[in-house]
């Protein structure tokens, strides 16, 4: 289909000023370049050029899904509560789930994801191992009532996702498709022009699920990553890590109780006690429900306390706390009151009865800890595990940091930030078991489907592209997703100038190039600024001066390079450049 547009007729309301609410480049530029408009917090309208980009991103994702045999379908955005009750998520999903009632008072939600619907669909239709494996996907609007919708399209409340779900008879079959999806996700990132890294998202989870996140690298990304030259990379939320330790106190000393009034921070404590911050130990308390005699009619006393000890200069990673003690929840203010615990002086010596002590592995072998005394305003110096208290378990508990050791090769980890654009996940039988979705295997036994799910944030990816491809003048689109490939900018509306400009415009469109002519009766400066802001990869400037020498000016938006091209060659030159750039993003 020919794409030859006129700027005068396009609805691209560019803004001269930076919108005050936009902190990140992608948010600012999406608004300024007239691609999106806000309808409510985290909810946006796509204007014509934004919509063009969105459809290109979708098409790349669609191509790559089709190429691995994943079949497109479409599920409803409105989902009946019954399915969520079956899977057990109606109660646990929390306020992020947008719930509504129909006129009969029945409960529904706006889908934040579609495991329930797809599992229910497949459960009723697929019966035999002979029909497996199967992989299905959709490109759909999703709803999540995020606590803090922000950064424009990066964290919305209504956003578009490609979500795929696969069903298998065996783990090997799941692994094979999971790998194919992961490879497709890599290609999607490449075709979008994203500088990205696949990262381990839950490496330490013993016997747990396998998952990889794809991170678009970005200084302002919400996610923190660590990576090693050996190729290993992980989200710090889930990064196993080897904490380098260099305790100053290497000899055991006597246990000494110290009065530490008004000490609030680790820095204050280390100064007060006269020991290095990394020789102090922080203790954080959590609780787990226990199945005891009272199980079934469990009251609030049926919980066990867990003390987590980590080096004073490091942070406890709540995800890892959960790996060490599944189901653990860190205590809140009310819990501290209930158990009458001294929040600022917790420690492993004489913990409350029944409490477990789990300490970070890096502390193993250290003989002199500066720790809380489980008494307000008191700490111990010289506390020694094995002598003064027992550690029930040593585990990797801290948030990984650059400078730590790589869990694979021991090399030094480096840090980066990223935007999670997509994620692949081995679900196993979590949903199929909960929802009774089974098939009969070769022996005729009923078995739950083994499932995988795979999500690409379409709108988030679009924003990530801009986050990586912009300069002080605006967006610099990769050819693969640019709203239009070439802009023709006539410097004047008089026929001697506009005529040749229009001819180039028509000829390029005839050559299958997506082209716009800036036919607005505006000053050259305004046109240049807008075309740079919107970020068309090539601009052809047609002016009297050039035409006098039978030439037009060709500008490369990315490099800023300008060159004069003979009028007669303009069309073929531009068509060739566009073709070459398109080629870069084909795989």
Tokens of 112: 């934040």
| Residue-by-residue DSSP string for 435-460 | TT-EEE-TTS-EEEPEEEEEEEEHHH
The minimum distance between CB 546 and ligand ATP, in angstroms, equals 44
Residues 474, 475, 479: CA angle, nearest 5 degrees: 150
Query: Binding-site residue total for ligand ATP (CB under 6 A)?
Result: 15
Instruction: Using alpha carbons, select from 523, 550, 528 the residue that is nearest to residue 539.
Output: 528
Q: Measure the CA–CA gap between 343 and 330, rounded to whole angstroms.
A: 12
Q: Measure the CA–CA gap between 367 and 249, rounded to whole angstroms.
A: 7
Residue of 87, 212, 270, 423 that binds ligand ATP (CB under 6 A) = 423
Q: Which C-beta is closer to ligand ATP: that of 144 or that of 191?
A: 144
Using the contact rule CB under 6 A, the part of the chain among 56-64, 228-236, 436-444, 451-459 near ligand ATP is 451-459
> Do residues 557 and 540 touch, judged by C-beta distance below 8 A?
no
Instruction: Using alpha carbons, select from 224, 156, 219, 222 the residue that is nearest to residue 470.
Output: 219
The minimum distance between CB 213 and Mg ion, in angstroms, equals 6
Over the window 306 to 325, marking each residue x when it contacts ligand ATP by CB under 6 A and - when it does not, the resulting string is --------------------
The minimum distance between CB 419 and ligand ATP, in angstroms, equals 8
- Residue bearing tokens 């469990």: 298
Is 161 a binder of ligand ATP (CB under 6 A)?
yes
Burial class (CB in 10 A: 0-12, 13-18, 19+), 497: middle
Burial 38-76 (b: 16+ CB within 10 A, else e): beeebebebbebbebbbbbbbebbbebbeebebeeeebe
Q: Which C-beta is closer to Mg ion: that of 86 or that of 237?
A: 237
Is 89 a binder of ligand ATP (CB under 6 A)?
no
Residue of 82, 107, 145, 146 that binds ligand ATP (CB under 6 A) = 146
Is 211 a binder of Mg ion (CB under 5 A)?
no
The minimum distance between CB 422 and Mg ion, in angstroms, equals 8
The size of the chain, in residues, is 587
Is 204 a binder of ligand ATP (CB under 6 A)?
no
Tokens of 352: 């409350």
Q: Which C-beta is closer to ligand ATP: that of 155 or that of 555?
A: 155
DSSP conformation class of 280: B
Using the contact rule CB under 6 A, the part of the chain among 49-57, 300-308, 456-464, 565-573 near ligand ATP is 456-464
Is 216 a binder of ligand ATP (CB under 6 A)?
no
Q: Which C-beta is closer to ligand ATP: that of 156 or that of 351?
A: 156
The minimum distance between CB 457 and ligand ATP, in angstroms, equals 2
The minimum distance between CB 153 and Mg ion, in angstroms, equals 16
421 binds, among ligand ATP, Mg ion, none (CB under 5 to 8 A by kind): ligand ATP
Using the contact rule CB under 6 A, the part of the chain among 255-263, 370-378, 414-422, 444-452 near ligand ATP is 414-422
Q: Which C-beta is closer to ligand ATP: that of 422 or that of 531?
A: 422
> Do residues 241 and 332 touch, judged by C-beta distance below 8 A?
no
CA 193 to chain centre: 17
The minimum distance between CB 156 and ligand ATP, in angstroms, equals 4
Q: Measure the CA–CA gap between 473 and 534, rounded to whole angstroms.
A: 9
> Do residues 134 and 67 touch, judged by C-beta distance below 8 A?
no
Ranked by CB distance to ligand ATP, the top (closest) residue is 457
282 binds, among Mg ion, ligand ATP, none (CB under 5 to 8 A by kind): none
Q: Which C-beta is closer to Mg ion: that of 457 or that of 535?
A: 457
Q: By CB under 5 A, what part of segment 381-440 binds Mg ion? A: 423
Using the contact rule CB under 6 A, the part of the chain among 281-289, 380-388, 434-442, 453-461 near ligand ATP is 453-461
Cross-sheet strand order for the sheet of 78-80: 78-80, 107-110, 98-101
The minimum distance between CB 146 and ligand ATP, in angstroms, equals 5
Other beta carbons within 10 angstroms of residue 96's beta carbon come to 12
- Residue bearing tokens 């008089």: 494
Q: Measure the CA–CA gap between 297 and 6, rounded to whole angstroms.
A: 71
Q: Which C-beta is closer to ligand ATP: that of 156 or that of 385?
A: 156
> Do residues 504 and 540 touch, judged by C-beta distance below 8 A?
yes
The minimum distance between CB 284 and ligand ATP, in angstroms, equals 23
The minimum distance between CB 144 and ligand ATP, in angstroms, equals 5
> Do residues 442 and 548 touch, judged by C-beta distance below 8 A?
no
Residues that bind ligand ATP (CB under 6 A): 113, 144, 146, 155-156, 159, 161, 420-423, 455, 457, 459-460
The site for Mg ion (CB under 5 A) is made up of: 423
């Amino acid at each position: 289909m020919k794409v030859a547009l006129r700027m005068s007729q396009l609805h691209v309301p560019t803004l001269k000023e930076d919108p005050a609410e936009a902190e990140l480049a992608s948010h600012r530029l999406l608004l300024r370049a007239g691609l999106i408009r806000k309808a409510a917090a985290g909810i946006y309208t796509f204007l014509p050029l934004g919509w063009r980009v969105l459809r290109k991103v979708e098409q790349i994702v669609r191509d790559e899904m089709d190429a691995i045999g994943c079949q497109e379908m479409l599920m409803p955005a409105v989902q009946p509560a019954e399915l969520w009750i079956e899977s057990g998520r109606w109660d646990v999903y929390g306020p992020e789930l947008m719930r509504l009632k129909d006129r009969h008072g029945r409960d529904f939600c706006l889908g934040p994801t579609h495991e329930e619907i797809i599992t229910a669909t497949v459960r009723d239709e697929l019966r035999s191992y002979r029909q497996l494996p199967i992989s299905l996907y959709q490109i759909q609007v999703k709803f999540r009532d995020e606590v803090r919708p922000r950064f424009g399209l990066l964290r919305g409340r209504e956003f578009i996702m490609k979500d795929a779900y696969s069903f298998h008879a065996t783990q090997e079959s799941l692994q094979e498709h999971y790998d194919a999806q992961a490879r497709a996700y890599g290609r999607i990132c490449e075709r979008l022009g994203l500088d990205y890294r696949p990262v381990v998202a839950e490496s330490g989870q013993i016997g747990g699920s396998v998952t990889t996140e794809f991170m678009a690298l970005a200084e302002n990304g919400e996610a923190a990553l660590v990576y090693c030259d050996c190729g290993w990379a992980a989200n710090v939320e889930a990064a196993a890590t080897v904490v380098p330790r260099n305790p100053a106190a290497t000899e055991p000393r006597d246990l000494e109780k110290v009065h530490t009034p008004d000490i609030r921070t680790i820095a204050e404590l280390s100064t007060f006690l006269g020991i290095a911050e990394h020789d102090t130990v922080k203790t954080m308390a959590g609780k787990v429900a226990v199945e005891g005699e009272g199980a079934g009619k469990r009251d609030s006393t049926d919980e066990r306390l867990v003390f987590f000890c980590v080096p004073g200069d490091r942070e406890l990673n709540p995800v890892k706390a959960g790996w060490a003690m599944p189901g653990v929840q860190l205590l809140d203010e009310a819990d501290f009151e209930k158990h009458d615990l001294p929040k600022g002086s917790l420690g492993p010596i004489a913990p409350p009865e029944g409490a477990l002590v789990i300490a970070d592995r890096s502390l193993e072998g250290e003989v002199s800890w500066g720790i809380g005394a489980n008494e307000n305003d008191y700490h111990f110096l010289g506390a020694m595990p094995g002598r003064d208290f027992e550690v029930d378990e040593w585990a990797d508990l801290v948030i990984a940091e650059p400078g730590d050791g790589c869990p694979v090769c021991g090399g030094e980890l480096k840090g980066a930030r990223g935007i999670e654009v997509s994620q692949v996940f081995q679900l196993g039988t979590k949903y199929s078991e909960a929802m009774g979705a089974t098939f009969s295997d070769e022996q005729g036994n009923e078995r739950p489907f083994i499932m995988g799910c795979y999500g690409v944030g379409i709108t988030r990816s679009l924003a990530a592209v801009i986050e990586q491809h912009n300069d002080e003048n605006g967006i610099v689109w990769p050819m693969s997703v640019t709203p239009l490939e070439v802009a023709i900018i006539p410097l004047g509306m008089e026929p001697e100038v506009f005529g040749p400009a229009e001819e180039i415009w028509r000829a390029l469109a005839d050559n299958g190039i997506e082209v716009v002519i800036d036919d607005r009766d505006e000053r050259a400066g305004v046109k240049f600024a807008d075309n740079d802001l919107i970020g068309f990869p090539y601009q052809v400037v047609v002016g009297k001066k050039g035409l006098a020498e039978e030439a037009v000016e060709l500008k490369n938006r990315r490099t800023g390079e300008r060159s004069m091209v003979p009028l007669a060659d303009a069309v073929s030159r531009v068509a060739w450049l566009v073709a070459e750039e398109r080629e870069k993003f084909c795989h």
